[in-house]
């Protein structure tokens, strides 16, 4: 019996993510794309950080979980990436964040968390 091959290229990560998304496993895609092995700061994710970020944002959008979207977008906007990436100018992140806020029944709570601490979520 042979062992499976590990994901080693951004193209393979793209295919894996789209398999997750097409089979309604967006939450798994988000977990995978935030993990140490395949996330933005990993060796594989770092080969094409823009693709990895795009996959993460697409997966987040599909989950529809406002609080998770908010938390991850907040992290992306406030932390500098491993390769010096500044995500504050990425409109896709802001669009997701505003979408999460606009559908929230308690946007004031979310804004307070934004202003004070993302760990309060």
The whole-number pLDDT of residue 91 equals 87
| pLDDT higher than threshold 50 for residue 19 | yes
Residues 22 and 64 sit within 8 Å (Cβ to Cβ): no
Averaged pLDDT score across all residues of the chain:
82
Residues 113 and 77 sit within 8 Å (Cβ to Cβ): no
Contacts of 108 (CB under 8 A, 6+ apart): none
d(CA 114, CA 49): 25
Mean pLDDT (whole number) for 101-118: 62
The whole-number pLDDT of residue 120 equals 45
Alpha-carbon dihedral 99, 87, 43, 52, rounded to 10 degrees: 40
| Whether the predicted model's global pTM rises above the 0.75 cut | yes
| pLDDT higher than threshold 70 for residue 8 | yes
Mean pLDDT (whole number) for 11-23: 96
| pLDDT higher than threshold 50 for residue 10 | yes
């Amino acid at each position: 019996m042979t062992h499976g091959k590990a994901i080693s290229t951004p193209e393979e990560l793209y295919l894996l993510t789209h398999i997750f998304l097409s089979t309604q496993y967006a939450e798994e895609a988000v977990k995978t794309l935030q993990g140490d092995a395949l996330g933005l700061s990993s060796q594989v994710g770092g080969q094409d950080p823009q693709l990895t970020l795009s996959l993460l944002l697409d997966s987040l959008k599909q989950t529809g979980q406002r609080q998770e979207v908010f938390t991850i977008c907040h992290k992306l906007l406030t932390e500098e990436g491993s390769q010096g990436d500044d995500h504050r100018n990425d409109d896709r992140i802001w669009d997701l964040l505003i979408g999460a806020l606009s559908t929230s029944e308690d946007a004031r709570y979310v804004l307070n968390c934004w202003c004070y601490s993302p760990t309060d979520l």
